[in-house]
Structure 1
Amino acid sequence: MAVIRAVLFDLDGVLVDAPDWHYEALNRALGLFGFTITREEHENYYNGLPTKRKLEKLAQDKGLSPKLHAFINEMKQVYTLECIHRDCHPEFAKQIMMKTLKKRGLQIAVCSNAIRKTIEVMLERGMLMPYIDLILSNQDVVKNKPDPEIYHTAMQRFAVAPEETIIVEDSPHGIEAARASGAQVIVVRNATEVHLNIFSHHFPDL
């Protein structure tokens, strides 16, 4: 087995329990124009996609006018930041995990379909920013997840091979991207499962 040199984390639903915030923020923004989606729809079809792509799918699925997309996108970001400032708090288990991984000399990246500002605010509120070597957002790639570009980019920046890399993901689109990258993948259901023990198979001495 190759020596692991890097760990790449998704953000929403992995390091931060954010999917509900994105659902709430998107529905508030859509509600300004009389649209809505159910929680089940969000989890099954939209979760893990950039807001722009969610709106494109809503145009196809529900007839949401493309003329409204820019404003809804802007308001969704406003509402998301409100949720983050209200509900995002440091988690001791996440900090212990990050500190331990850094002590092993691992390079750590966050690779998210969110915009950079949202990522940075979440990491700062969660007191995780000091442990992060690289942040890649949907603004840093041409193709978002489920395309593996964001993970390939992180590996190139770190000068590591896929077999030397672990990716932690939760959403179907993210898992697809992670597996397509060729890296070793740890799948979690939500952020509460993300703690040091998920790496015990790769680092038995933890």
Structure 2
Amino acid sequence: MNRSFDALLFDMDGLMLDTETLSCAATRRAGAELGIQIDDAMLMGMVGLSEARCTRYIAEYLANEELAAQLQQTSRAGYRRMLEHEEIPLKPGIVELLDWAENQGIPRAVATSTRRAVADVKLARSGLARYFRHTIAGDEVARTKPEPDIYLAAAALLGAAPERCIVLEDSPYGMQAGVAAGSRVLLVPDLIAPLETQRAQALAVCGDLHQALTLLRSL
């Protein structure tokens, strides 16, 4: 079968794993411990960013670098405990999509802003590690999303041209990275609804991964 793409590049948090809500909960708990008011705008501004970019974002948002570092340290510790001891929920449809890709022999890789040590825990404990021989983490590229480095690196690992890859993303920052890499982006929004300009840039915007699979089968 001739397809219009050679490989699939997957974001992780918010796309395959329902972990963005866990991260937000950890940040809110940390804020309560430290007496910092955490609002929705602050949380949504961090979706899709690497840990380092999140820290810089919080420092600017709070206008206080020391407080930002304390918040990140406390929230990351709480988040890590959640990942190690609580169930890591999967996004509906991801197993069916990955089973299809595996059965079709489609090359695939994970490209996540999450640090390697944490990404490995998430993929292992969620059971998704078995689907991926290749993964790129946020601390393994010079520039993280919304820059294209991580998707360019993922395509290179698979020996695929970026323009022949389809990126699956949930966040605007991730979509920017995929578009900048020259790939087509299939957007499956999680916490943030895309703007009309972002919708126009996407190959398609799907309500869930079941819809994404239906589209991929047709390409």
Q: Report the TM-score when normalising by structure 1.
A: 0.86
Classify the secondary structure of the residue corresponding to 1:143: coil
Paired letter, 1:199: L
Report what 2:38 is aligned to: 37
Q: Structure 1 pair 26/91, CA: closer, same or farther in 2 (3 Å)?
A: closer
Which string of whole-angstrom CA distances, capped at 9 and with x for unpartnered residues, describes residues 25-75 of structure 1? 2233344432232123311x2111122222212222212234762x54343
Report what 1:109 is aligned to: 109
Using the TM superposition, name which of 192-201 and 118-127 deviates more. 192-201
Report what 1:159 is aligned to: 159
Classify the secondary structure of the residue corresponding to 1:144: coil
Instruction: Write the mapping of 1:71-86 to structure 2, written as runs, cut at 5 A.
Output: 71-84=70-83, 85-86=85-86
- State the shift of 1:92 in Å: 7.6
Structure with the larger RCO, 1 or 2 (CA within 8 Å, 6+ apart): 1
Using the TM superposition, name which of 30-39 and 181-190 deviates more. 30-39
Report what 2:24 is aligned to: 23
Q: Retained in 2: the 8 A contact 1:15–1:194?
A: no
Q: Retained in 2: the 8 A contact 1:26–1:76?
A: yes
Paired letter, 1:22: S
Size of the alignment, in residue pairs?
A: 203
Q: Whole-Å Cα distance in 2 between the matches of residues 193 and 135 of structure 1? A: 25
Q: Whole-Å Cα distance in 1 between the matches of residues 68 and 94 of structure 2? A: 38
Report what 1:199 is aligned to: 213
Classify the secondary structure of the residue corresponding to 1:190: coil
Q: Whole-Å Cα distance in 2 between the matches of residues 50 and 172 of structure 1? A: 13
- State the shift of 1:201 in Å: 3.0
Report what 1:6 is aligned to: 7
Q: Report the TM-score when normalising by structure 2.
A: 0.81
- State the shift of 1:189 in Å: 1.4
Paired letter, 2:118: T
Q: Whole-Å Cα distance in 2 between the matches of residues 185 and 39 of structure 1? A: 26
Q: Retained in 2: the 8 A contact 1:48–1:174?
A: yes
Report what 2:202 is aligned to: none
Report what 1:126 is aligned to: 126
Q: Retained in 1: the 8 A contact 2:88–2:122?
A: yes
Q: Whole-Å Cα distance in 2 between the matches of residues 68 and 170 of structure 1? A: 25
Q: Whole-Å Cα distance in 2 between the matches of residues 182 and 91 of structure 1? A: 26
Classify the secondary structure of the residue corresponding to 1:52: helix
Q: Whole-Å Cα distance in 1 between the matches of residues 183 and 35 of structure 2? A: 42
- State the shift of 1:193 in Å: 4.7
Which string of whole-angstrom CA distances, capped at 9 and with x for unpartnered residues, describes residues 151-182 of structure 1? 00111111111232110111111111111111
Paired letter, 1:79: G
Segments of 5+ residues of structure 1 without an aligned counterpart are: none
Q: Retained in 1: the 8 A contact 2:18–2:90?
A: no
Q: Whole-Å Cα distance in 1 between the matches of residues 112 and 90 of structure 2? A: 19
Q: Whole-Å Cα distance in 2 between the matches of residues 144 and 86 of structure 1? A: 28
